Amino acid sequence: MMENLFQIFYIEIKPDFSEHFVLQTASRYHIPLIPYSGGTSLEGHFNPPSSDLHTNQSKNQFESIEEELKPGYSFTVDFSKHMNQIITLNESDMDVVVQPGISYDQLNEQLKTRCASSKLFFPVDPGPGAQIGGMVGTGCSGTNAVKYGTMRENVINLTAVLPNGQVIKTRQRAKKSAAGPDLTKLFIGSEGTLGLITEVTLKLQPILPTSVGVSHFENVESATESVLEILKNGVSLACVELLDDVMMKAINVNMVGKKWDEKPSLFLKFSGTHEQIKADKELTAKIIKSHGGSKIKLATSDSEALEIWESRKMALWSSIDYVPGSKAWTTDVCVPISNLPKLISKTKQDLIQNGLISTIVGHVGDGNFHCIILFKNHDEFLKTKESVERMVRLAQELDGTCTGEHGVGIGKKWALERELGKGTVDLLRSIKQLLDPKNILNPGKLIPDPKNDSSH
Amino acid sequence: MMENLFQIFYIEIKPDFSEHFVLQTASRYHIPLIPYSGGTSLEGHFNPPSSDLHTNQSKNQFESIEEELKPGYSFTVDFSKHMNQIITLNESDMDVVVQPGISYDQLNEQLKTRCASSKLFFPVDPGPGAQIGGMVGTGCSGTNAVKYGTMRENVINLTAVLPNGQVIKTRQRAKKSAAGPDLTKLFIGSEGTLGLITEVTLKLQPILPTSVGVSHFENVESATESVLEILKNGVSLACVELLDDVMMKAINVNMVGKKWDEKPSLFLKFSGTHEQIKADKELTAKIIKSHGGSKIKLATSDSEALEIWESRKMALWSSIDYVPGSKAWTTDVCVPISNLPKLISKTKQDLIQNGLISTIVGHVGDGNFHCIILFKNHDEFLKTKESVERMVRLAQELDGTCTGEHGVGIGKKWALERELGKGTVDLLRSIKQLLDPKNILNPGKLIPDPKNDSSH
């Protein structure tokens, strides 16, 4: 009777609940566990293992398109409901200990009132709603990474429950340590395959004055070259985002009154003391001018700065609105910055040739960009899938990666070995086997199955 | 005849030499290999495994004191002679691919002439002479870490030969990637126990204007509190070094003419655009004044700045000169910054009570300090050893680490489990066992033997 029945059990983890008991039980009965927090990831990270879904998906973006259910059981282990608190705020040391189910925006909201003598924030800012547990899992980043780095640079230690039920804490709270390899890093980017994360210590940063502006360019090359020169001159940019011409058109659809120039554009956020920002803006204007960029349109008030940055943050929704009735495939790749213009221009060419409408928004300071491809039917869906694969292959040929921040999940497993080589993937696989010999934790994610996930 | 004979074989690795062949051969005949580059490490990292040396040592600092040789063979695998080149400089992307036997000072010297259109440098600056291979091995840092981070934040990828002879490259050259756990980090801090590092891609940074100054304080607490406030205000310090009263006295011994105040002092290096430095210096002066620090003595010329920084960089030699005929035990610990005053004051008290003369110089922005203890005879040596153990235990009780930058080697193996817990050390041990089942690579270092290296 169970043959066509697909069941997902659901566990809400609470602080007084023994995670190691969950793991021991799951291990004894061989039941897959899928850790879950914000549910904003894009490569099928929290899909049940019994669903054979070869596309990316998210509760926030689009429903699953091709889902073939197989009989089986799995537990979704949800940290978001009862494991979402700040445990300890160490204001003097600029760090905070949190549970995995707190989102970065909730954390920053709470820091506003809980910091007594200073203004501190946690800088890693992926898609809104992302929670710390998942952010550790995907090793994510966001617009602030050019200044503050990714999750890999902003987690001091973490507590993990291993598949055998053992609880380990990777480090103490000192800001740095040379006491062996930092095993914190083994769990960052492991996508829930090596352990359940139950506590995380994060670095905080002082909130500094910022200033926001936009400049338009004739092409992606001159925008990218400007950024390279700005960075080499030590300008302290908190963010520098590249939006292509189509993205600018999409944003304009929802703009009331004022419209942006519909050209490749840089959205810049300067950060530092007031004097520094003033000097940085002057230097940046000079560099941009020498590359043919327009005069920087600077926000003259906080509300205008917020409005400009909201335009950037709404990129996904603006893109979906741009083609009524469409669904969006969001993907990301990352290359050495000097290879970015080539990758973007070839990708755009490929998409146009295939009759697909897409927008591009990139963390250009990291060589990372998101491509949002809009499709309305199955034929376009298949074309999208193929274009994404070509984009990934090209990024890898340009010494880059199949994903700068979204992770591998199910969607990019096929690309991992061609990027890292067989030896590195074998090592990753053998570490997984060492920690989780029964393959209980998030099976079928990240690590390619040598039989089924061979390179395209 | 071999019973009392100790032999160290020596291999100079060359680019056309097959490292994997060395490893396969060593593995077949069960011969330990000890990777070697700059030879500046301090915890016995490159001692032959057959020497049962329970103290720290370095060719630069002091000869081994108690050395008990056991029969055995090992190969020292030297990368410094023929594997010391820049392979590719990617100036546009601000990265460089190097061989492991190049020192960071040689690298920076070569970058001065090889960078065509920009001024770039590699910021990680441990003890002079350290080479990139060893710097990866110990996960080191230096005075610039407060701004630029440690080796963990500055290596993009590396190529390693595993004990089974397999060659892996951990990542491509993109500045960031979310393609799984970054296995680069598994080798950083692994002290040569997991693989031989044959190629490393490093992030470079723009050389910015700097300004150097010194301020004196009544006590360590007020100096530390000043630093915490400076950092929370977003001042862009490249370095902030704390030298205690004894260290200042030791430096004065070699000063010609002008002498420093013999009080706890901060050596500050501001870094940024000229306008930023100006504003940062004003803000810093105000903060320091509010904590009772003296007016900052600023260098008025490049040569004066160099002279001030040389005083700091000569800390070790000045300390040894301070007590004629002494040898130095150099150790380092690191704690959350707010715990630093307590650790320093208790440590100084302990050392004085034991009749030991010592100097302290700390990377206060990281909560990290070096203690240089001077001893002249075996009795003082034993007292030093015990004091270091108490310092390590106290640092760990204050949520800190037994080593901020020197590594574990032989000298701090006893302290690892009490810091990281049995589970974390077991995981590290099982990864070592997975990669190196015959224990060929730098045996006896880093990973405590459950039988012989139990916690004190």
Question: DSSP per residue over A262-296, as a string?
Answer: SS-EEEEEEES-HHHHHHHHHHHHHHHHHTTPPPP
Asked if the structure places residue B443 within a domain, the reply is no
Q: Which member of B179, B335, B406 has the closest CB to residue A402? A: B179
Contact predicate A390/A317, CB 8 Å: no
Which residues from B are below 8 Å from A404, CB to CB? 174, 176-178
Closest of B406, B394, B397, B371 to residue B242, by C-alpha: B371
- Minimal Cα distance from B204: which residue of A? A232
Q: What is the pLDDT of residue B112?
A: 96
Q: Give the ranges where A7-71 is alpha helix by DSSP (H).
A: 19-29
Residue bearing tokens 């990301």 = A332
Task: From A191, A206, A221, give the residue that closes a domain.
Answer: A206
Q: What is the pLDDT of residue A113?
A: 96
Q: What is the pLDDT of residue A75?
A: 85
**Residue B94 pLDDT class (50, 70, 90 cuts):** very high
CA distance A3 to chain B (A): 34
Contact B407 A179 (CB under 8 A): yes
Does B243 have pLDDT greater than 90? Answer: yes
Contact B273 A400 (CB under 8 A): no
Q: Which member of A169, A283, A428 has the closest CB to residue B424? A: A169
Measured CA distances, B272 to A236, B84, B285 (Å): 9, 31, 17
Task: From A398, A430, A445, give the residue that closes a domain.
Answer: A398
Q: Are residues A23 and A42 in the same domain?
A: yes
Q: What is the pLDDT of residue B179?
A: 98
On average, the pLDDT of chain B sits at 89
Asked if the structure places residue B72 within a domain, the reply is yes
Q: Are residues A218 and A316 in the same domain?
A: yes
Closest of B420, B437, B424, B407 to residue B190, by C-alpha: B407
What is the distance between the alpha carbons of residues B370 and B368, in angstroms, rounded to a whole number? 7
Which residues from B are below 8 Å from A177, CB to CB? 334, 401, 403-404
- In order, the DSSP letters of A66-92 are S--B-SEEEEEEE-TTT---EEEEETT
Closest of A308, A226, A217 to residue A267, by C-alpha: A308
> Which of B176, B270, B392 has the most A C-beta neighbours within 10 Å, making it the best mutation to test the interface with A?
B176
- Minimal Cα distance from A236: which residue of B? B272
Q: What is the pLDDT of residue A456?
A: 53
Contact B401 A334 (CB under 8 A): no
Contact A173 B412 (CB under 8 A): no
pLDDT tens digits, one per residue of A398-455: 999 999 999 999 999 999 999 999 999 999 999 999 999 999 999 999 999 887 776 5
Measured CA distances, A184 to A160, A202, A439, B401 (Å): 9, 12, 21, 15
Q: Are residues A269 and A393 in the same domain?
A: yes
Q: Are residues B226 and B345 in the same domain?
A: yes
Which residues from A are below 8 Å from B396, CB to CB? 172
Q: Using a CB cutoff of 8 Å and minimum separation of 24, what contacts does A286-293 make?
A: A287/A226, A287/A229, A287/A230, A287/A233, A288/A215, A288/A226, A288/A230, A291/A217, A291/A222, A291/A223, A291/A225, A291/A226, A291/A229, A292/A217, A292/A218, A292/A222, A293/A215, A293/A216, A293/A217, A293/A222, A293/A223, A293/A226, A293/A266
Cβ contacts from A onto B, under 8 A:
303
Q: What angle do CA B105, B110, B113 make, to 5 degrees?
A: 135
CA distance B16 to chain A (A): 21
Contact B178 A185 (CB under 8 A): no
Which residues from B are below 8 Å from A412, CB to CB? 179
CA distance A23 to chain B (A): 16
Residues in chain A, how many? 456
Asked if the structure places residue B114 within a domain, the reply is yes
CA distance A305 to chain B (A): 21
Q: Can you give the CATH number for the domain in which A311 is found?
A: 3.40.462.10
Helices vs strands, H then E, count in chain B: 14, 17
Q: Are residues B234 and B375 in the same domain?
A: yes
Helices vs strands, H then E, count in chain A: 14, 17
**Residue B290 pLDDT class (50, 70, 90 cuts):** very high
Q: Which residues of chain A have pLDDT under 70?
A: 1-10, 13-20, 50-72, 454-456
Contact A171 B420 (CB under 8 A): yes
Does B82 have pLDDT greater than 50? Answer: yes
Q: What is the pLDDT of residue B47?
A: 86
Query: Dihedral (C-alpha) A431, A436, A441, A444: value to the nearest 10 degrees?
Result: 60
Which residues from B are below 8 Å from A173, CB to CB? 336, 399-400
What is the distance between the alpha carbons of residues B122 and B120, in angstroms, rounded to a whole number? 7
Q: Which of A437-441, B387-391, B402-406, B424-428 has the lowest mean pLDDT?
A: A437-441
Which residues from A are below 8 Å from B199, CB to CB? none
What is the distance between the alpha carbons of residues B237 and B281, in angstroms, rounded to a whole number? 10
Asked if the structure places residue A449 within a domain, the reply is no
Contact B206 A231 (CB under 8 A): yes
Q: What angle do CA B156, B162, B168 make, to 5 degrees?
A: 45
Helix, strand, coil percentages, rounded to 5, for chain A: 35, 25, 40
Contact predicate B367/B101, CB 8 Å: no
Asked if the structure places residue B408 within a domain, the reply is no
Q: Which member of B90, B233, B367 has the closest CB to residue A336? A: B90
Q: What is the pLDDT of residue A397?
A: 98
Closest of B168, B165, B103 to residue B136, by C-alpha: B103
- The residues that bridge with B368 in the sheet, in sequence order, are B334, B363
3-state DSSP call for residue B387?
helix
What is the distance between the alpha carbons of residues A364 and A358, in angstroms, rounded to a whole number? 18
pLDDT tens digits, one per residue of B322-341: 999 999 999 999 999 999 99
Q: For residue B447, with 0-12 CB atoms within 10 Å meaning exposed, 13-18 middle and 19 or more buried, which class applies?
A: buried
Which residues from B are below 8 Å from A405, CB to CB? 176, 178
- ipTM, two decimals, is 0.93
CA distance B221 to chain A (A): 13
Q: What is the pLDDT of residue B9?
A: 59
Measured CA distances, B383 to A139, B332, B356, B454 (Å): 46, 17, 8, 21
What type of residue is A358?
S
Q: Are residues B199 and B225 in the same domain?
A: no
What is the distance between the alpha carbons of residues A44 and A46, in angstroms, rounded to a whole number? 6
- Minimal Cα distance from B447: which residue of A? A180
What is the distance between the alpha carbons of residues B330 and B313, in angstroms, rounded to a whole number? 14
- Minimal Cα distance from B225: which residue of A? A92
Q: Are residues A387 and A267 in the same domain?
A: yes
Q: Are residues A77 and A155 in the same domain?
A: no
DSSP A412: T
pLDDT tens digits, one per residue of B1-54: 233 333 455 677 666 556 667 777 777 778 889 999 999 999 999 888 755 443
- Minimal Cα distance from B120: which residue of A? A232
Which residues from A are below 8 Å from B401, CB to CB? 171-172, 174, 176-179
- For A128, other C-beta atoms within 10 Å of its C-beta total 13
Q: Which member of A138, A174, A412 has the closest CB to residue B400? A: A174
Tokens at residue A78, please?
């949800």
Asked if the structure places residue A432 within a domain, the reply is no
Q: Which member of B181, B276, B405 has the closest CB to residue A190? A: B181
Task: From B156, B173, B206, give the residue that closes a domain.
Answer: B206
Q: Are residues A388 and A282 in the same domain?
A: yes
Q: Are residues A312 and A273 in the same domain?
A: yes
Asked if the structure places residue A127 within a domain, the reply is yes
Q: Which member of A234, A278, A401 has the closest CB to residue B206? A: A234
Contact B423 A367 (CB under 8 A): no
CA distance B227 to chain A (A): 11
Q: Are residues A235 and A300 in the same domain?
A: yes
> Which of B146, B172, B429 has the most A C-beta neighbours within 10 Å, making it the best mutation to test the interface with A?
B172
Which residues from A are below 8 Å from B405, CB to CB? 176, 178
The model's pTM: 0.93
Distance of CA A244 to the CA centre of its chain: 20
Number of domains chain A contains: 3
Q: Are residues B242 and B383 in the same domain?
A: yes
Q: Which member of B177, B236, B405 has the closest CB to residue A403? A: B177
Q: What range does the domain containing B93 cover?
A: 86-206
What is the distance between the alpha carbons of residues B349 and B352, in angstroms, rounded to a whole number? 5
Q: Which member of B149, B236, B403 has the closest CB to residue A179? A: B403
Contact predicate A230/A282, CB 8 Å: no
Contact A139 B182 (CB under 8 A): yes
Asked if the structure places residue B412 within a domain, the reply is no
When computed from its CA atoms, the radius of gyration of chain A, rounded to whole angstroms, is: 22
Contact A272 B274 (CB under 8 A): no
Q: Can you give the CATH number for the domain in which B155 is found?
A: 3.30.465.10
What is the distance between the alpha carbons of residues B145 and A439, in angstroms, rounded to a whole number? 39
Q: What is the pLDDT of residue A67?
A: 40
